[in-house]
Amino acid sequence: MKTMDTFYEDLAEYYHLLFEDWSRSIERQAAVLGPLLERYTGRGAPRVLDCACGIGTQTLGLAQRGHDLVASDLSRASVARAEREARLRGLEVPFHVADMRDLSAHPAQDFDAVLVADNALPHLLLKEDRDRALQEMAGRLRPDGVLIVTLRDYDRLIQTRPAMQPPSFFGEPGSRRIVHQVWDWEGTEYDVHLYISLETDAGWVVKHFVSRYQALLREDLNASLSVAGFADIQWLEPEATSFYQPVVIARR
C-alpha cells in the first residue's frame, strides 16, 4: 500500500479524469464553498489558505471567484500541476509544497480561513497527526478565523463498510473512460483502490492507484478540533449546502 504522498504523485496527471468535466466541477464547488467562506468570514474576498490543494480543484475556483488564495500540498507533482493550471487560467496564486502537519512554509498568521477539502484530513491515520495538523491550521488563522473541512460521512459509512463505489462511464465511444473504486476495510481504516480504465486505439489501458484512509467519525473530529482550540463547530449536511460531502465549520 502506497503512502498518501506517492499516491498523489502518481495520480496528479490523471486526477482530472475522475470528473466528467473537471472545469465544471471547479465552478460548481466554488459556487458552494465561496458563499460559505464569505458568510462565515464576513468578507467578500477572504484570504484563504488551502492546505490540501491537490491539483487545484477548490483553489482555482475560489481564486476565479475573487478570493485571495494561498495553496499547498504534500505532493510535489500535484502542486506542479496546480501551478500549471493556475497559469493557464491567468490566476496568480502562491503555491507551496507542505505537509498539513507542518505549515511553516506559510509564516503568515492572518488568514481569514483555512480550507482542507475533499476528504484530505482522513489520510492522517493517527490521532496525534490529526491533532497536530489541526493545531497547525489554527496557528495560521487570524483571531475569529474559520476552518472549513469537507469529508465523507463516516458515521454512515462505518455502519455498512461498502466494498466499492459503482463505476462511472465518461467520454464518447472510442475515447471512453471508466472510473471506479474498491474499498478494502480493516477495522476503522480502509484502502482505496482507484481504477481509471482508458479506451485507446490500441485497446483499454488500466491505471491503478492505492491509498489508505481513516474512517474519521464526527465525535473524533469534534474532539480533535476542540483540542486544537476551535469552537462553534457546525456540521452542514449535503442537503443544506448542495455540496457532495458534509462540510464542517469551526471557529478559532
Q: Tell me, yes or no, whether 205 and 224 share the same domain.
A: no
Burial class (CB in 10 A: 0-12, 13-18, 19+), 13: middle
CATH code assigned at 209: 2.20.25
pLDDT score for 38: 98
Q: Tell me, yes or no, whether 179 and 190 share the same domain.
A: yes
Q: Tell me, yes or no, whether 204 and 81 share the same domain.
A: no
Residue 52 has φ and ψ, to the nearest 5°, of -145, 60
The DSSP bridge partners found for residue 210 are 193
Q: Tell me, yes or no, whether 200 and 83 share the same domain.
A: no
Q: How many C-beta atoms lie closer than 10 Å to residue 88's C-beta?
A: 9
Comparing CA positions, the residue from 223, 228, 224 lying closest to residue 252 is: 228
Q: Tell me, yes or no, whether 76 and 105 share the same domain.
A: yes
Grid cell locating 58: 477548490
**For the chain, what is the domain count?**
2
Q: What is the pTM of this model?
A: 0.95
CATH code assigned at 234: 3.40.50.150
Helix (H) or strand (E) holding 96: strand 95-97
Give the pLDDT of the chain (252 residues) as one tens digit per residue.
445 568 999 999 999 999 999 999 999 999 999 999 999 999 999 999 999 999 999 999 999 999 999 999 999 999 999 999 999 999 999 999 999 999 998 888 899 999 999 999 999 999 999 999 999 999 999 999 999 999 999 999 999 999 999 999 999 999 999 999 999 999 999 999 999 999 999 999 999 999 999 999 999 999 999 999 999 999 999 999 999 999 999 999
- Give the pairing of strands 231-236 and 203-214: unpaired
Q: Tell me, yes or no, whether 145 and 161 share the same domain.
A: no
pLDDT score for 4: 59
Q: Tell me, yes or no, whether 98 and 221 share the same domain.
A: yes
Q: Tell me, yes or no, whether 165 and 244 share the same domain.
A: no
Q: Tell me, yes or no, whether 24 and 114 share the same domain.
A: yes
Grid cell locating 124: 492522517
pLDDT score for 213: 98
Domain encompassing residue 113: 4-153+216-251
Q: Let me know: does 211 contact 191? Beta carbons within 8 Å.
A: yes
Grid cell locating 1: 500500500
